[in-house]
Amino acid sequence: MSGSDALGGFLEKWRARWPEWRLAEVFVPLEQRERVVAWFALLQEFDDILNIAGDPLPADAKLGWWGTELRDWAGHRSRHPLGRLLEPVEAPWSALADALPALVAARARAADGGAALAALAGYAQAVVAVEAAVLGGPRAEPRALAAQVLATRLAEAGLQAVPQARQPVDTEATAGRESAQREWAGELLAVWPARVEGAPARRMWAAFARHRLARFADGQLPRPASRWPLRTLWQAWRAAQG
């Protein structure tokens, strides 16, 4: 596989999870679109490592590899295909590398919502700092970014992602399991503003992610907003305008 094909594969993997973006990217300048998706694809790689099912050792090894890779990006050297678009950006890559081990600790079930957010605070701050360099514009708010990471974890890990304080008494009862997950979704929505800070691309992605979480908290399937094109365009435009 050529380097170009490998890069395209990572970009398409993110787009496949967020089909809304094919409509929303019209609000991103053409020359920035690939770099924006590359950045979000990198964050998806980290989400996947956080939410690994089964034996975590391969994912932990991959996380260690990413730490080395990001430090190399700080010296303008890269091996990963995403580095073609991201490594040239002057950003605090080494600080992000230093924050990655927090993802391993964040797999453990938190005592409550505050502890879950606190476990990702350092990682979120490092992401925000790099994102300001990659996307430009105002900085995102770390707490809102951490809430988005936790929303993704809930979607991927289910009850395992729910803090201990919201675990059902009977973990075998389907109704109790679903209720606990929806309650946790509601708690995340309460700390995640509907209108977030950050570059337009971040605001749009956050709007789509929050929309899915709100549907889940309301007892609906968390379907992509792209099923309703006009609504998606309106949502993206509002988010892009801030």
Domain boundaries of the chain, sorted by first residue = 3-241
- Rounded to an integer, the average pLDDT of 34-52 is 97
Number of Cβ atoms within 10 Å of the Cβ of 54: 7
pLDDT recorded at residue 226: 57
pLDDT recorded at residue 92: 98
- Rounded to an integer, the average pLDDT of 195-199 is 95
- The CA distance from 21 to 11, in Å, is 12
Question: Which superfamily, per CATH, for 3-241?
Answer: Farnesyl Diphosphate Synthase (1.10.600.10)
- Rounded to an integer, the average pLDDT of 47-62 is 95
Q: pTM for this structure?
A: 0.94
pLDDT recorded at residue 171: 76
* Rounded-to-10 torsion of CA 222, 182, 52, 108: 160
Higher pLDDT, 1 or 47: 47
In the predicted structure, residue 1 carries a pLDDT above the cut 70: no
What is the average pLDDT score of the chain?
94
Which H, E and C letters describe the chain, residue by residue? CCHHHHHHHHHHHHHHHCCCHHHHHHHCCHHHHHHHHHHHHHHHHHHHHHCCCCCCHHHHHHHHHHHHHHHHHHCCCCCCCCHHHHCCCCCCHHHHHHHCCHHHHCCCCCCCHHHHHHHCHHHHHHHHHHHHHHHCCCCCCHHHHHHHHHHHHHHHHHHHHCCHHHCCCCCCCHHHHHHHHHHHHHHHHHHCCCCCCCCHHHHHHHHHHHHHHHHHHCCCCCCCHHHCHHHHHHHHHHHHHC
53-62, 122-131, 222-231 — which is least confidently predicted? 222-231
In the predicted structure, residue 179 carries a pLDDT above the cut 60: yes
CA angle 231-236-240, nearest 5°? 150
- Per-residue pLDDT tens for 134-168? 999 899 999 999 999 999 999 999 999 999 999 99
In the predicted structure, residue 7 carries a pLDDT above the cut 50: yes
Higher pLDDT, 187 or 175: 187
In the predicted structure, residue 196 carries a pLDDT above the cut 80: yes
In the predicted structure, residue 17 carries a pLDDT above the cut 90: yes
93-102, 201-210, 223-232 — which is least confidently predicted? 223-232
- The CA distance from 224 to 222, in Å, is 7
In the predicted structure, residue 2 carries a pLDDT above the cut 60: no
- Rounded to an integer, the average pLDDT of 206-223 is 90
Query: Could you tell me the sign of the dihedral formed by the alpha carbons of 9, 149, 145, 179, in that order?
Result: positive
- The CA distance from 181 to 168, in Å, is 9
- Per-residue pLDDT tens for 118-129? 999 999 999 999
- Rounded to an integer, the average pLDDT of 28-39 is 97
